[in-house]
Amino acid sequence: MDFTLLLFFLLAATAVATALGLLLSRNAVYAALFLVLNFATVAVFYLLLGAPFVAMTQVTVYAGAIMVLFLFVIMLLGAEKLPKGEALPWQRPLAIGAAVILFAEAVYLLVQRVRLTAALPDPGTWENSMESLRQMAGMLFTDYLLPFEVTSLLLLVAMIGAIVLTKGERAVRS
């Protein structure tokens, strides 16, 4: 059993544990922090698979930007504590049933369709994975230059919109 495989199993255990922690914690802030940890673990999975760009995106976009927003909203609303008891009592058994079915399907597919091997796919050399990153960057600034620029305009418009909608109201003249 080589090192990456050991690492994989450690990370897998962490990923499952943090996902469970997210579901089971009764405090929304803890749940959000568990989710950050989960995202970070998944990012390392991507690294193991030789996809450094996706890994970095996972960290910056999901673990970084989106989760910070989540935490902001939770804290601003003061909604850390989830209420005791459940609004929909039939929800829990239904969810457990659905989860079991989904899990069974996933296992069946894994056994049937994917040949399970005790080794991770070869991530290739670091040079190779950097080359793919270089190609992606090249694409972004050649073939996809126009969409890239339009995206920047889109963000500008979103910013203007947010300011227009939230700017302090001027004295109403009536």
With contacts defined by CB under 8 A, name the span among 44-52, 63-71, 110-118, 162-170 that binds another protein. 162-170
Contact 85, 165 (CB under 8 A): no
Helix or strand (DSSP H, E) at 87: none
* Alpha-carbon gap, residue 166 to 148, rounded angstroms: 27
- 113: contact with another protein by CB under 8 A: no
Pick the closer one to another protein by CB: 10 or 157. 157
Figure out which of the listed residues 2, 85, 142, 168 binds another protein, where binding follows CB under 8 A. 142
* Residue 113 three-state SS: coil
* Alpha-carbon gap, residue 93 to 99, rounded angstroms: 10
Pick the closer one to another protein by CB: 65 or 156. 156
* Alpha-carbon gap, residue 136 to 133, rounded angstroms: 5
Secondary structure E strands in 17-131: none
With contacts defined by CB under 8 A, name the span among 3-11, 14-22, 93-101, 136-144 that binds another protein. 136-144
- 174: contact with another protein by CB under 8 A: yes
Minimal distance in Å, beta carbon 142 to another protein?
7
With contacts defined by CB under 8 A, name the span among 40-48, 64-72, 84-92, 141-149 that binds another protein. 141-149
* Alpha-carbon gap, residue 157 to 70, rounded angstroms: 22
Report the interface residues with another protein, using CB under 8 A.
142-147, 150-151, 153-154, 156-158, 160-161, 163-165, 169, 172-174
